[in-house]
């Protein structure tokens, strides 16, 4: 599969397979650019969402269900309509992680998950940062709180 | 900032595609209706600011701290998340 080589400040020059390229039509709030790539998904609990155009922009992501077994994503009807989400559509859900020097202080943003459309590796895929209406889906939930969301 | 006086039921058009209508005014609360294209997400400002702040903070991570295997609820293939190996 064709790979895109991108420059990053954290990881040097990295090859991103086409299946891991992510297009955000509306971008990410507060961050530049619409084109990102997933790096390191196979290496453990965290994946990096790396900007293809801004070498210094990368966000750690994780699968919320890995840390919050009861995690649910509840998207408002108007947002679901805006994104034309189909019932049963295949998506991957990630949340951003606010990393700290000590692992136990890391928090996850369950309030604004990232919805990547299509099955893993089928990219380039489109993605949206959505607003989670589920009760308890807060902005900074400690990753290791064992919180039952 | 542009200031416009509107009555209930009147609208403001922003560009060619965004329409804001004053639906109801009650006390110091105004109910607005917003029509925008699908490509334009609409947020309440305080929520938009929260997401922005959180995204910016997440993007500042130099690297992730090593994650001890016992902290990972799933059996991760690698204990750390430093990249690339």
In chain A, where the domains are located: 3-142
Res B66: pLDDT: 57
Quickly count: other Cβ atoms within 10 Å of residue A58's Cβ. Answer: 25
In tens, the pLDDT along A95-110 reads 999 988 777 888 999 9
pLDDT at B4: 95
Strand partners, A48: A39, A60
ipTM, two decimals: 0.90
Q: What's the CATH superfamily of A3-142?
A: BH3618-like (2.30.290.10)
Q: Are B65 and A101 within 8 A, CB to CB? A: yes
pLDDT digits (tens, 9 = 90+) for A37-65: 999 877 678 899 999 999 999 999 999 99
* Structural domain spans, chain B: 11-60
Q: Give the mean pLDDT of B69-81.
A: 49
**Cis peptide before B39, with omega less than 30 degrees from 0?**
no
Mutation for B interface: A39, A50, A59, most B CBs within 10 A:
A59
**Nearest chain B Cα to A67, which residue?**
B73
């Amino acid at each position: 599969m064709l790979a895109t080589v991108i420059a990053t400040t954290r990881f040097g020059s990295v090859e991103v397979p086409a299946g891991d390229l992510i297009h955000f039509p509306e971008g990410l709030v507060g961050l530049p650019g619409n084109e990102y790539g997933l790096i390191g998904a196979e290496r453990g609990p965290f994946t990096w969402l790396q900007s293809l155009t801004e070498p210094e922009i990368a966000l750690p992501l994780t699968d919320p269900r890995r840390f919050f077994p009861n995690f649910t994503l509840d998207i408002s009807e108007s947002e679901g309509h805006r994104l034309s989400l189909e019932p049963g559509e295949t998506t991957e859900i990630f949340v951003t992680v606010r990393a700290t020097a000590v692992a136990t202080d890391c928090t996850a943003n369950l309030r604004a998950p990232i919805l990547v459309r299509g099955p893993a590796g089928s990219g380039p895929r489109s993605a949206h940062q959505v607003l989670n209406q589920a009760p308890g889906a807060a902005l900074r939930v400690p990753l290791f709180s064992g919180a039952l969301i | 900032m542009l200031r416009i006086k509107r009555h209930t039921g009147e609208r403001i058009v922003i560009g060619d595609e965004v329409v804001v209508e004053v639906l109801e005014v009650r006390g110091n609360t105004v109910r607005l209706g917003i029509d925008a294209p699908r490509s334009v997400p609409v947020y309440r400002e305080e929520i938009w600011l929260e997401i922005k702040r959180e995204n910016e903070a997440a993007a500042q991570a130099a690297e992730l701290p090593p994650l001890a295997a016992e902290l990972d609820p799933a059996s991760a293939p690698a204990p750390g998340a430093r990249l690339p190996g």
